């Protein structure tokens, strides 16, 4: 069964190969080695182009080394709010976000536990005053807990929004810094080490 | 503009759906077939045989409606603000305007000279359990030694 299926396929492939070879053009070494197509008038132009290319490659390598990866930073902030902002050197903002998130989450857990304890007592109560009393004591902290969960979610959402903005800003600023560093100083830090230009 | 508020609205909806419910089977707010036992009024106690070895206190209180009461809990405390302990459970007798109970030293040696605070509550039995009503106002009983 498999053999009968493969045979026409092989024939078709061979046919296509034949057509391809018939249509092939000979490699034009003259056109390939013509440097004027790149606007190089002489070897100096070519050397300066090569130098410029190397410089750009160096900058790109430096950028890749020092930049903050966007997806990884987003994941960091999603797991621990503020972590991504720490990576982009926005330490104050990161501290505020992390502190607020911790306070709201701890507060929500505290009020939720309080509500749960009182709810358990409410559920077990068989005296009308106890039923009403424990219900009141369960309902209020539960609403506080919900409010804090909501607030924590809003802070978390803002943190995600902010890490997107701050990562992009950081990387854009880093690119500008690299451009300035490369242009201003004769002593350069390159991915390959130190480089002194004369 | 409204798109900015969509996550916030979703969070609020999700949180609103997480509300706790009054689902105690004896809670009249949850189960409308549960009737709250009526408040007990008119509790008063008269000390008899004071100064003897077997003093007793004769309690009377107004009868509750039989529809919401199957019995009563009588409580006692040594102080107004102290915690109360159940002295006895008394079954409701229908068809009378007054219910009564005797707290006697013959059955309970703790009935001795001193000051005691008493109160009473009604209860109603349901298949889900026994629901107790509100405590009555406190009644002071003084048992004299001589």
Q: What is the spatial distance between Cα A34 and Cα A46, in angstroms, rounded to a whole number?
A: 12
B122 beta partners: B72
Q: Which residues of chain B are within 8 Å of residue A122 when distances are taken between CB atoms?
A: 22, 24
When the pLDDT of each residue in chain B is averaged and rounded to a whole number, the result is: 89
- With a cut of 0.85, is the ipTM above it? no
CB contact under 8 Å between B132 and A126, yes or no, is yes
Q: Does the CB of B40 have a partner CB in chain A at under 8 Å? A: no
- Of B86, B127, B138, B125, residue with least CA distance to B108: B86
The answer to whether B17 contacts chain A (CB < 8 Å) is: no
Beta strands in chain A (DSSP E): 187-190, 193-196
Q: Name the pLDDT band for A185 (thresholds 50, 70, 90).
A: low
Contact criterion met (CB below 8 Å) for B83 and B94:
no
Look at residue B23 and tell me if it is in a domain. Answer: no
Residues of B in contact with A150 (CB under 8 A): 11-12, 15
Residue B4 lies in a domain: no
Q: Walk across the sheet containing B56-62 and list its strands.
A: B44-48, B56-62, B98-104
In a domain? residue B7: no
Task: State whether residue B38 sits within 8 Å of chain A by CB.
Answer: no
User: Is B29 domain-assigned?
Assistant: no
Q: For A98-105, what is the mean pLDDT?
A: 96
Those of residues 112-131 in A touching chain B at CB distance below 8 A are 115, 119, 122-123, 125-129, 131
Q: Is the Cβ of B15 closer than 8 Å to some Cβ of chain A?
A: yes
- What is the per-residue pLDDT across B20-49, written as a single tens digit (0 to 9) for each? 888 899 999 888 899 999 999 999 999 998
C-alpha to C-alpha distance for B114 and B103, rounded to whole angstroms:
14
Tell me the pLDDT band of A1, cut-offs 50, 70 and 90. very low
pLDDT digits (tens, 9 = 90+) for B51-77: 888 899 999 999 999 999 999 999 999
Question: Domain range holding B133?
Answer: 38-143
Give the three-class secondary structure for B12: helix
Q: Which CA distances in Å does A83 have to A23, A109, A143?
A: 58, 22, 29
Question: What total of structural domains would you count in chain B?
Answer: 1
**How far is C-alpha B33 from the chain's CA centre?**
20
pLDDT above 60 for A9:
yes
Choice among A135-139, B11-15, B24-28, B79-83 with the minimum mean pLDDT: B11-15
What is the nearest CA distance from A95 to chain B, expressed in angstroms? 24
Q: Which residue has the tokens 């498999």?
A: A2
- Among A165, A179, A170, A167, residue whose Cα is nearest residue A62: A179
Three-state SS for A127? Answer: strand
**Which residue of chain A comes nearest to B5, CA vs CA?**
A154
Whether residue B33 lies inside any domain: the answer is no
Kindly state whether B39 is in contact with chain A, defined as any CB-CB distance less than 8 angstroms: no
Mean per-residue pLDDT, A32-43: 76
Q: The domain spanning residue B55 has which CATH number?
A: 2.60.40.10
CB distance A197 to A186 below 8 Å:
yes
Alpha helices in A89-127 (DSSP H): 91-124
Instruction: For B98-107, write each residue's pLDDT tens digit.
Output: 999 999 999 8
Chain A neighbors of B7, CB-CB under 8 A: 157
Query: For residue B57, which of B107, B91, B97 has the smallest C-alpha distance?
Result: B107
Judge whether residue A2 has pLDDT over 60: no
């Amino acid at each position: 069964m498999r053999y009968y299926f493969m045979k026409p396929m092989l024939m078709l492939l061979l046919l296509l190969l034949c057509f391809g070879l018939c249509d092939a053009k000979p490699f034009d070494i003259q056109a390939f080695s013509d440097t004027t197509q790149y606007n190089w008038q002489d070897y100096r132009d070519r050397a300066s182009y090569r130098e410029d290319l190397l410089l750009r490659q160096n900058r790109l390598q430096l950028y890749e080394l020092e930049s903050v990866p966007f997806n990884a930073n987003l994941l960091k902030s999603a797991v621990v709010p503020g972590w991504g902002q720490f990576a982009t050197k926005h330490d104050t903002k990161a501290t505020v976000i992390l502190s607020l998130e911790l306070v709201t989450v701890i507060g929500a857990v505290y009020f939720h536990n309080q509500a749960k304890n009182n709810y358990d007592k409410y559920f077990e109560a068989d005296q009308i005053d106890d039923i009403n009393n424990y219900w009141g004591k369960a309902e209020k902290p539960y609403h506080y807990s919900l409010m804090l969960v909501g607030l924590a979610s809003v802070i978390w959402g803002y943190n995600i929004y902010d890490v997107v903005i701050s990562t992009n800003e950081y990387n854009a600023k880093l690119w500008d810094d690299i451009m300035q560093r490369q242009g201003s100083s004769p002593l350069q830090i390159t991915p390959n080490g130190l480089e002194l230009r004369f | 503009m409204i798109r900015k508020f969509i996550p916030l609205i979703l969070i609020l909806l999700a949180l609103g759906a997480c509300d706790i419910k009054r689902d105690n089977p004896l809670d009249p707010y949850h189960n409308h077939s549960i009737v709250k036992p009526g408040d007990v009024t008119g509790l008063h106690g008269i000390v008899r045989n004071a100064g003897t070895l077997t003093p007793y206190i004769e309690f009377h209180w107004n009868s509750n409606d039989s529809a919401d009461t199957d019995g009563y809990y009588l409580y006692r405390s040594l102080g107004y603000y102290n915690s109360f302990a159940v002295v006895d459970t008394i079954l409701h007798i229908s068809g009378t305007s007054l219910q009564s109970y005797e707290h006697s030293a013959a059955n309970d040696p703790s009935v001795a000279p001193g000051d005691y605070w008493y109160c009473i509550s009604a209860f109603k039995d349901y298949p889900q359990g026994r629901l107790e009503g509100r405590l009555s106002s406190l009644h002071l009983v003084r048992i004299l030694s001589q």
